[in-house]
Structure 1
Amino acid sequence: MIARIGDRIVVEGTHLGDNRRIGVITAVAHADGRPPYEVRWLDDGRTSLIFPGPEARIEQAAGGANGQP
C-alpha cells in the first residue's frame, strides 16, 4: 500500500455493526509512501497512527499520480 499526504484512507468495518471510517493522510513515515500513516479521521477530527490492513484502501487526492481523484 502506497499513499501520499492528502490521500484518503477508507477502512471498512470487519465485524457486524462496524462502520466504515474515512480519514485524510496527514503524514507518511517513509519517503516511498509505505505505512504507517498519520490520519485525521473525518468523523471525529482525531488524529491517529495507522498500520492499515487488508480492509483498508487508499483513494488518491485530486491530481494524483494518474490525475485521478
Structure 2
Amino acid sequence: MKAQAGDWLVVESLHVGEPRRIGLVTRVDHTDGSPPYWVRWTDDDHESLFFPGPEAHIEQLEALYPSARR
C-alpha cells in the first residue's frame, strides 16, 4: 500500500452491520509512501497513527466524492 498526504484511507468493517471508517491521510513519514500513516478520522475528527491491515485501502478524493476537487 502506498499513500500520500491528501489521500483517503478506507477501512472496511470486519463485522456485519458496522460501518466502514474513512480518514484523511494527513502525514506520511516514509518517502516511498509506505505505512504507517497519520490519519484524521471523519467519524470523530481525531488523528492517530495507523498501520493498515488487509481490510484497508487507499482512495483518491474523486473516487469517494465524485463532485469534489482537490
Q: Which blocks of at least 5 consecutive residues in structure 1 are unaligned?
A: 63-68
**1:38 shift after superposition:** 0.3
Looking at secondary structure, tell me which structure has more helix per residue.
2
1:40-59 superposed matches below 5 A: 40-59=40-59
**1:61 shift after superposition:** 4.0
Aligned residues between the structures = 63
**1:48 shift after superposition:** 0.6
C-alpha separation in 2, matches of 1:5 and 1:61? 11
Q: Following TM superposition, where does structure 1 have runs of at least 4 consecutive aligned residues deviating by more than 4 angstroms?
A: none
Quick check: 1:39 aligned with 2:39?
A: yes
2:29: which partner in 1?
A: 29
**1:55 shift after superposition:** 0.2
TM-score normalised over the length of structure 2: 0.81
Amino acid at match of 2:25: I
